[in-house]
Chain A
Amino acid sequence: MHIARKLGFYLVALWAAVTLNFFIPRALPGSPVDAVLAKLALRGPVDPGTRHAIEVMLGADDQGSIIEQYFQYLGNLLRGDLGTTVTYFPAPVTEVIGQALPWTLVLVGLSTCVTFLLGVGLGTVAGWRRGTWLDSLIPATTILQSVPYFWLALLFVYAFAVNLRLFPISGGYDVTLVRPALDYPFLSNAVYYAFLPALTIVLSSLGGWLLGMRNMMVSTLSEDYILTAEAKGLSPRRIMLTYAARNAVLPSVSGFAISLGFVVSGSIVVESVFSYPGIGYTMLQAVNNNDYALMQGLFLIITVAVLGANLVVDLLYGVIDPRTRARG
């Protein structure tokens, strides 16, 4: 029952995203066709027939009612047809996304896991040692959290890439040295290029995890069962990990949704600083080229990825915290 309810919620969220994606272009002024025409007009006079050609290309020529268009759009989605890009013409949107997706998945996925483990671990210690000098570190982490992702990225590029020349300025791998393949030279090169973007994401999202975990630890440690555990003479280590941290980590896990959206948004801007060949950078290319089909396809993929990750965390949460299953 609990799982069915969860699945239902994610289906509604997915439907909302798809519907938004359909209605935003139709509700707002400005049409993709006009945008492409305006771009062509910069290069010279536009033949009247061009308009129709572009409409056909972008799929804007059908004159059916908005309901018909909606169902046609849903049908296209189900067949995996997201349209054709303008930026990488004539590649289909799905192909472009397919190339960009692995970069972002690995970068954001790994750095989120590292941040979570690091933040929760440090938060546990900071909460356990409440009332010591560690408390004064807490405001410092919140300041780190309010540093904009992309500004931190700019600083890193300036310090480590431009001045110290320790890391590359931009890109996902060295195109002159290696080719994408699953071998050691490429992977090591990719890790080298991913280091600064990943460091940016880890540092700027660490504060939230740390603070949340620390505050929950402080609250949990004043519970009566902690006192009981201490009175029983259990080792401090066991109390910290099995009694306090295990309970204190629950809100952090359930807060995954909000933080993941935050990280994904942050990574879009970070990718633009590093010209990292992932989803975010592709999205900016789409924005700069008025490539609406690609933009909407990317929005959909990002949303599906965020929803999917949250669904997994939600289902895991039921395993971690039996109370939610009993209640549902």
Chain B
Amino acid sequence: MTTKPNTAAMAVSAQRRRLPRFLTPTLMVGGGIVVLITLFGLIAPFFVADPNAVDNMGMQPPSAQHWLGTTQTGQDVLAQLAWATRGSLTVGIIVAVMALFLSAFFGILGGYLGGWLDEAFSLFTNVVLILPGLPLMIVIGSYVEQRGLILIAVVLAITSWAAAARVLRSQTLSIRGRDYVQASKIAGERPWRIIAVEILPNLLPVMSSSFVFALVSAILGEAGLSFIGLGVVGTHTWGSMLFYAQNGQALTLGGWWWFVPPGAMIAALGGGLSLINFSIDGIINPRLRTAPAAARTARHAQKEAAAA
């Protein structure tokens, strides 16, 4: 495990951490991709044709009329992509918010209160963590015929909060023992106020990192579930597009314009979010940011010494 950086180093990095320091190229690129995709999902559905409109121009490659071609039944792929972006993002955000609440509840509360409650909570967390998620989702999803958005979101959230809860718990444990928390305890602060005012702000970087991670895994999980045919009934998502593409023989008929865009969108969004997470990681663990630079300086110095 990593050793805790000493307080002097943390003070230095806190001073350096002004706004421009935040805006690393990684964060800008990642944020840019995510904003573009979100805008596409928000705005594009208003301007595209009906994604369900069937036409006899099936399996047409991209053209001026259909920018991303058509499906086997002549539906416009771009229109489907626009609605699918909105659908996938909606599911992702709902799941990530729910997972954040669940992980905060089990992680922070257990970590702070300790005792048998912590034992029970962390046992529960570890059991949920180790149970394979997708098979469980498949079993639940196949029992329910009317799979609404909320049901799928709940199923995804139930299977994706545990990893974050474990991280939050260990962070809470380390913060709980610090002097200022002890001081406010002795000052007679109520537990919920200590959690909300003293502990929560320190957990924000970790929580935002796990929120981003939950968003990625929710979108991937939903895509996997829809791809199997167990997604939300009657809603376009990236996964359901891929499901129909595979069932519509897009692969063997050479319809790359049908199955490439949805997957590329998932990959781009996932990549953008990972880049954001990357910069958050650099903030949480300053060594990741400073060590490469330090190593570079040392290498330059050696080279210069050798040249001289």
- The A-contacting residues of B in range 243-261, CB under 8 angstroms, are 245-246, 251-252, 254, 256, 259-260
Instruction: Kindly name the residue among A9, A21, A139, A258 whose own CB sees the greatest number of chain B CB atoms within 10 A.
Output: A139
Q: Are A257 and B246 in contact (CB under 8 A)?
A: no
Known: A25-B143, A303-B135. A12 touches B127 (CB 8 A): yes
* Interface flags, B25-51, vs A, CB<8A=1, else 0: 010000000000000000000000000
* Interface flags, B126-155, vs A, CB<8A=1, else 0: 110111111110111011110000000000
A287 contacts which of B216, B228, B273, B293 (Cβ < 8 Å)? Answer: B228
- The B-contacting residues of A in range 241-273, CB under 8 angstroms, are 250-251, 257-258, 261, 264-266, 268-269, 272-273
B281 contacts which of A17, A215, A298 (Cβ < 8 Å)? Answer: A215
Q: In the complex, how many residues of chain B place their beta carbon closer than 8 angstroms to a beta carbon of chain A?
A: 62
Q: In the complex the two chains form, what is the Cα distance from A162 to B249 in whole Å?
A: 11
Instruction: Kindly name the residue among B139, B140, B223, B252 whose own CB sees the greatest number of chain A CB atoms within 10 A.
Output: B139
Taking CB atoms, residues of chain A closer than 8 Å to B156 are: none
A265 contacts which of B134, B140, B251 (Cβ < 8 Å)? Answer: B134
Taking CB atoms, residues of chain B closer than 8 Å to A145 are: 270, 274
Chain B binding surface SS class: helix
Q: In the complex the two chains form, what is the Cα distance from A268 to B134 in whole Å?
A: 8
Residue of B nearest to A130 (CB): B292
Q: Are A218 and B288 in contact (CB under 8 A)?
A: yes
Q: Are A154 and B131 in contact (CB under 8 A)?
A: no
- A148 CB–B CB distance under 8 Å: yes
Q: Are B138 and A269 in contact (CB under 8 A)?
A: no
- A188 CB–B CB distance under 8 Å: no
- The B-contacting residues of A in range 291-305, CB under 8 angstroms, are 292, 295-296, 298-299, 302-303
Q: Are A273 and B246 in contact (CB under 8 A)?
A: yes
A-B contact pairs, 10 of them (CB 8 A): A131-B292, A146-B270, A147-B263, A148-B267, A215-B288, A222-B287, A268-B135, A283-B138, A302-B132, A307-B130
Taking CB atoms, residues of chain B closer than 8 Å to A154 are: 242, 245-246, 251, 259, 263
Q: In the complex the two chains form, what is the Cα distance from A163 to B127 in whole Å?
A: 44
- Shortest CB–CB separation between residue B170 and chain A, in angstroms? 12
Taking CB atoms, residues of chain A closer than 8 Å to B296 are: 131-132
- Shortest CB–CB separation between residue B230 and chain A, in angstroms? 7
Taking CB atoms, residues of chain A closer than 8 Å to B273 are: 146
* Interface flags, A167-186, vs B, CB<8A=1, else 0: 00100000000000000000
B267 contacts which of A138, A143, A250 (Cβ < 8 Å)? Answer: A143
Q: Are A30 and B274 in contact (CB under 8 A)?
A: no
Known: A13-B127, A264-B132, A295-B142. A146 touches B285 (CB 8 A): no
- B291 CB–A CB distance under 8 Å: yes
* Interface flags, A203-216, vs B, CB<8A=1, else 0: 00000000000011
- Shortest CB–CB separation between residue B261 and chain A, in angstroms? 10
- B74 CB–A CB distance under 8 Å: no
Q: Are B251 and A17 in contact (CB under 8 A)?
A: no
- B231 CB–A CB distance under 8 Å: no
Q: Are B256 and A158 in contact (CB under 8 A)?
A: yes
A155 contacts which of B131, B260, B299 (Cβ < 8 Å)? Answer: B260
- Shortest CB–CB separation between residue B113 and chain A, in angstroms? 21
Q: In the complex the two chains form, what is the Cα distance from A272 to B266 in whole Å?
A: 19
- A150 CB–B CB distance under 8 Å: yes
Known: A143-B267, A218-B292, A295-B138. A257 touches B129 (CB 8 A): yes
- Shortest CB–CB separation between residue B218 and chain A, in angstroms? 12
- B123 CB–A CB distance under 8 Å: yes
Q: Are A302 and B287 in contact (CB under 8 A)?
A: no
- Shortest CB–CB separation between residue B122 and chain A, in angstroms? 10
B130 contacts which of A29, A296, A310 (Cβ < 8 Å)? Answer: A310
A303 contacts which of B132, B142, B227 (Cβ < 8 Å)? Answer: B132
Q: Are B136 and A20 in contact (CB under 8 A)?
A: yes
- B224 CB–A CB distance under 8 Å: yes
Taking CB atoms, residues of chain A closer than 8 Å to B292 are: 130-131, 135, 218
Q: Are B275 and A139 in contact (CB under 8 A)?
A: yes
- Shortest CB–CB separation between residue A301 and chain B, in angstroms? 9
Other contacts beyond A251-B1, A283-B135: 7, CB < 8 A = A146-B267, A146-B269, A151-B267, A265-B132, A272-B228, A287-B228, A295-B139
- Shortest CB–CB separation between residue B164 and chain A, in angstroms? 11
- A62 CB–B CB distance under 8 Å: no
Q: In the complex the two chains form, what is the Cα distance from A266 to B217 in whole Å?
A: 12
Known: A30-B144, A218-B292, A219-B288. A155 touches B132 (CB 8 A): no
- A28 CB–B CB distance under 8 Å: yes
Q: Are B228 and A143 in contact (CB under 8 A)?
A: no
Taking CB atoms, residues of chain B closer than 8 Å to A130 are: 291-292, 295
Q: Are A139 and B274 in contact (CB under 8 A)?
A: yes
Taking CB atoms, residues of chain B closer than 8 Å to A149 are: 224
- A24 CB–B CB distance under 8 Å: yes
Known: A218-B292, A303-B132, A306-B132. A24 touches B224 (CB 8 A): no
Taking CB atoms, residues of chain A closer than 8 Å to B299 are: 131-132
Q: Are B135 and A269 in contact (CB under 8 A)?
A: no
Taking CB atoms, residues of chain A closer than 8 Å to B136 are: 20, 299
Q: In the complex the two chains form, what is the Cα distance from A140 to B2 in whole Å?
A: 25
- Shortest CB–CB separation between residue B33 and chain A, in angstroms? 10
